Structures are given as structure tokens and as C-alpha cells.
């Protein structure tokens, strides 16, 4: 038998990679918290964190340092990690569901639906849920658009084809974007318009500890479920009939995945606005690193997606300081060219290999 790495050594290599990324995440969180107008050392950061969580360590730092680290920067950096991870996981999953490498969390109307909800709150002043109104409205908008797309894509016998999903997603997105534009156009207060636009471009600036719990829980349970079904995701990626003959109940599985990705997208968008391209880019970067097997792709997406968005957010708040860039602007500036590169790479690959037979 030829020598090839057995499961044990491959597994060990992958465990090593996960540990490395986990360490990278901790380092990224630490450094991201230290960065800002007020400089705070990494040691102080963790002393404050331990002090706040366990009560240990005497406070030899100022109140304002503690405020900045614990009330402002920590929630923001952790929210970036959670949202980045969530968007990456949704992207990887949706690319399998619609079997299209250019799919992302917003292709099924999630972004435009959330915008309608958010704009209603910001402009029409619907504050039914108090301080959570914006998040709740964005969540309802995203999942509502999602359900609409799903219902429109249903064909005979309740089957949902990937192509119909994408087409109805595009159609619904256009209509909802028009609704948003109309409301902005009709808005009278320029401050309102500014805050709407800022929200639509994505921002982690509003992060608070209270906003973290729900996204973190949704992310962890969602990712766990997806890792459990990773083999079936693999089969789905290769082809509809293949998956069916490998024992995957494809219609039912696709419905479950749509509910789950709708929930994940709605949750992430509701706390961060629409941050584009993370869900598109991260899965591809991850596949370049570890291949297409979802048992490896999903955990790496969580870690790498988190690290990526932490640093994008650092860039967003330091690049033109004291002003702050919307984080969605930064991801789009990186993501647009990436998308084009990906598309051209595919075209090249098709040319190189398509002729073989």
C-alpha cells in the first residue's frame, strides 16, 4: 500500500490548525481591545476582564480605562467575532444549499428585508420594542423576506430548486430595496437619513453586552447542528441526485437548512446591519485552506470569520480616526475585487479543464 496520511495524522493536523486559529482568535481579541484612541496594554485588558468576571486583581487602572475596555471595546470586538463567524457559516451553508459558489447570506433577501425593518424604525419611528426596536425590526424583516423567497421558490410537490431560490431571492431583494429607497426619499429629517444609511452599510458601533447573548447562542447551536449534518452538506454540494442516493432526504434537509440560515442571517443582521461579502469570501478562503469537506470547513469558518471581521472593524475605526468608517464599506472594498478574482479564476478553470473528456 502506498504511503498516505491516515485518518489519525490528518485528524491531528486539523486539530493543530484549529488550535492555531483559536490562539489567533484570542490574540486578535486582545489586540483589538488595546487598539483605539486611548492606549491600553494587553495585560491591563485581561486584568480588567478577569476583574470584571471573577473579582480577582486589585484595580490599578483608571475608571475610564475600565469603562472603555469593558463597556465599549470588549462587546464590540466580541460582536465582530460572533457576526463574522455567523456570516461565514451561513455563507458556507447557503453555497451548499443553492450549489452556487457565488451565493452569500444576502442572496435570499436577508439584507434588503432587514433594511426595510430598520428603516421603518428609524424613519417612521416605530418603537414598539423600546431600545431593541431596531434589532427586532431588522430580524423580522430579514426572516420575513427569507420566508417570502422560500414560498415563491416552491415548485410542484413542495420541492425547492436552487435556481428558483436564487431568482426569487434577487426579485424580492429588488422590490424591498425599492421600498427602502422610497422611504429614505420621503424622509424629511437629514439626521434620520444619515443614521439609516450608516446602519445599511453595517456597523458594530452599537455593541453592548446585552446584544451579544442571542447572536452567540444562535451561532453556537446553529454551527453545532451544521457540523452534525456535515456529511450530508458534502453530499448536497456534489449534486442533488447523488445526495439522494447517498441517503439524504434532500427536500427536507434543504428546508431545515433554509430555516436555520434564515435565523442566523436575521440574527446577525439585526445586531450589525448589512455587512456584505464576509459570507461570500470566508467560505472560499477556508476551502482554499482545508478543502471542501464541511467537517473541516464549518469550524474553520467560525474561527477565521471571527478573526477577519475583528480586524476589518479595527480598520474601520482607525483608518480615518476620529471618524469611523462603516464596516460594510471596508468589507465591500475588499470583497468586490475578491468576487471578481473568484469569478475570473472560475472562468480560467473552466477553460483549462472543461475541454477534457
Partner 1 sequence: MKLQTQEVSWGVDGHKIVRSINAEAHPGELVGLIGPNGSGKSSLLRCVYRVLRPDAGLVSLDGEDVWRMNARQMSRRTAVVVQESQTDFDFTVREIVAMGRTPHKGLLERDNEKDERIVEDALSRVNVLHFAERSFLTLSGGEKQRVLLARALAQKARFLVLDEPTNHLDVRYQLELLTLVRDLGVTTLAALHDLNLAALYCDRIYAIGGGEIQACGTPEEVLTPTLIRSLYEVDAEVGLHPKTGKPNVTFVPPGFGAEHNGGPG
Residues that bind partner 1 (CB under 8 A): 1-2, 4, 6-7, 11, 95, 99-101, 228-229, 231-232, 234-235, 237-242, 244-250, 287, 291-293, 346, 349, 353, 356-357
CB of 225 to partner 1, least distance (A): 10
Cell numbers 413542495: residue: 158
Using the minimum distance from each CB to partner 1, give the nearer residue, 1 or 128. Answer: 1
Q: Is 160 helix (H, G, I), strand (E, B) or coil?
A: strand
Using the minimum distance from each CB to partner 1, give the nearer residue, 213 or 242. Answer: 242
User: Count of residues for the chain?
Assistant: 357
For residue 65, the number of C-alpha atoms closer than 13 Å in the C-beta half-sphere is 17
CB of 290 to partner 1, least distance (A): 11
Using the minimum distance from each CB to partner 1, give the nearer residue, 51 or 229. Answer: 229
Burial degree of 220 (CB within 10 A; 0-12, 13-18, 19+): middle
The answer to whether 148 touches 109, Cβ cutoff 8 Å, is yes
Using the minimum distance from each CB to partner 1, give the nearer residue, 180 or 250. Answer: 250
CB of 240 to partner 1, least distance (A): 8
Using the minimum distance from each CB to partner 1, give the nearer residue, 61 or 339. Answer: 339
Using the minimum distance from each CB to partner 1, give the nearer residue, 37 or 354. Answer: 354
CB of 6 to partner 1, least distance (A): 7
Cell numbers 425590526: residue: 137
Using the minimum distance from each CB to partner 1, give the nearer residue, 76 or 229. Answer: 229
Q: What cell does 171 get?
A: 426579485
Question: Rounded to whole angstroms, how far apart are CA atoms 272 and 132?
Answer: 13
CB of 108 to partner 1, least distance (A): 19
Bridge partner list, 154 = 160
DSSP string, 257-287: HHHHHHHHHHHHHHHH----SHHHHHHHHHH
Question: Rounded to whole angstroms, how far apart are CA atoms 105 and 21?
Answer: 23
The answer to whether 201 touches 324, Cβ cutoff 8 Å, is no
CB of 4 to partner 1, least distance (A): 7
Using the minimum distance from each CB to partner 1, give the nearer residue, 244 or 315. Answer: 244
Question: Rounded to whole angstroms, how far apart are CA atoms 115 and 270?
Answer: 9
Using the minimum distance from each CB to partner 1, give the nearer residue, 17 or 246. Answer: 246
Bridge partner list, 160 = 154
CB of 29 to partner 1, least distance (A): 29
Omega cis (within 30) before 110: no
How many other C-beta atoms can be found within 10 angstroms of the C-beta atom of residue 87? 35
* Sign of the dihedral through C-alpha 72, 75, 81, 87: negative
Q: What cell does 182 get?
A: 422610497
CB of 242 to partner 1, least distance (A): 6
CB of 300 to partner 1, least distance (A): 15
CB of 154 to partner 1, least distance (A): 17
Q: What cell does 195 get?
A: 443614521
Using the minimum distance from each CB to partner 1, give the nearer residue, 39 or 241. Answer: 241
* Sign of the dihedral through C-alpha 288, 290, 291, 293: negative
Amino acid at each position: 500500500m502506498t504511503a498516505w496520511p491516515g485518518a489519525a495524522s490528518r485528524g491531528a493536523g486539523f486539530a493543530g490548525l484549529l488550535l492555531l486559529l483559536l490562539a489567533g482568535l484570542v490574540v486578535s481579541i486582545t489586540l483589538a481591545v488595546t487598539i483605539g484612541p486611548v492606549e491600553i496594554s494587553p495585560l491591563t485588558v485581561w486584568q480588567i476582564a478577569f476583574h470584571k468576571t471573577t473579582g480577582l486583581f486589585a484595580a490599578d487602572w483608571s475608571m475610564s480605562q475600565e469603562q472603555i475596555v469593558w463597556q465599549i471595546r470588549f462587546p464590540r470586538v466580541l460582536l465582530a467575532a460572533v457576526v463574522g463567524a455567523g456570516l461565514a457559516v451561513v455563507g458556507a451553508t447557503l453555497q451548499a444549499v443553492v450549489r452556487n459558489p457565488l451565493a452569500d447570506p444576502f442572496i435570499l433577501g436577508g439584507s434588503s428585508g432587514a433594511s426595510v425593518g430598520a428603516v421603518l424604525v428609524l424613519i417612521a419611528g416605530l418603537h414598539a420594542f423600546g431600545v431593541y426596536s431596531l434589532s427586532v425590526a431588522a430580524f423580522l424583516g430579514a426572516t420575513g423576506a427569507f420566508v417570502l423567497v422560500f414560498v415563491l421558490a416552491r415548485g410542484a410537490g413542495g420541492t425547492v430548486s436552487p435556481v428558483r431560490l436564487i431568482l426569487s431571492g434577487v426579485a424580492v431583494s429588488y422590490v424591498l430595496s425599492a421600498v427602502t429607497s422610497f422611504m429614505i426619499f420621503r424622509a424629511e429629517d437629514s439626521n434620520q437619513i444619515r443614521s439609516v444609511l450608516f446602519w445599511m452599510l453595517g456597523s458594530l458601533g452599537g455593541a453592548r453586552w446585552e446584544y451579544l447573548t442571542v447572536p452567540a447562542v444562535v451561532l453556537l447551536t446553529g454551527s453545532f447542528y451544521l457540523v452534525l449534518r456535515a456529511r450530508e452538506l458534502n453530499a448536497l454540494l456534489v449534486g442533488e441526485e447523488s445526495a439522494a442516493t447517498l441517503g439524504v432526504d434532500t427536500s427536507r434537509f434543504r428546508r431545515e437548512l433554509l430555516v436555520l440560515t434564515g435565523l442566523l442571517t436575521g440574527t446577525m443582521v439585526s445586531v450589525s446591519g448589512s455587512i456584505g461579502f464576509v459570507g461570500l469570501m470566508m467560505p472560499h478562503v477556508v476551502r482554499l485552506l482545508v478543502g471542501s469537506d464541511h467537517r473541516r470547513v464549518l469550524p474553520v469558518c467560525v474561527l477565521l470569520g471571527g478573526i477577519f471581521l475583528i480586524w476589518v472593524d479595527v480598520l474601520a475605526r482607525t483608518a480615518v480616526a476620529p471618524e469611523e468608517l462603516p464596516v460594510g464599506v471596508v468589507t465591500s472594498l475588499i470583497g468586490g475585487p475578491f468576487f471578481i478574482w473568484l469569478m475570473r479564476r472560475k472562468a480560467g478553470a473552466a477553460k483549462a479543464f472543461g475541454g477534457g473528456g
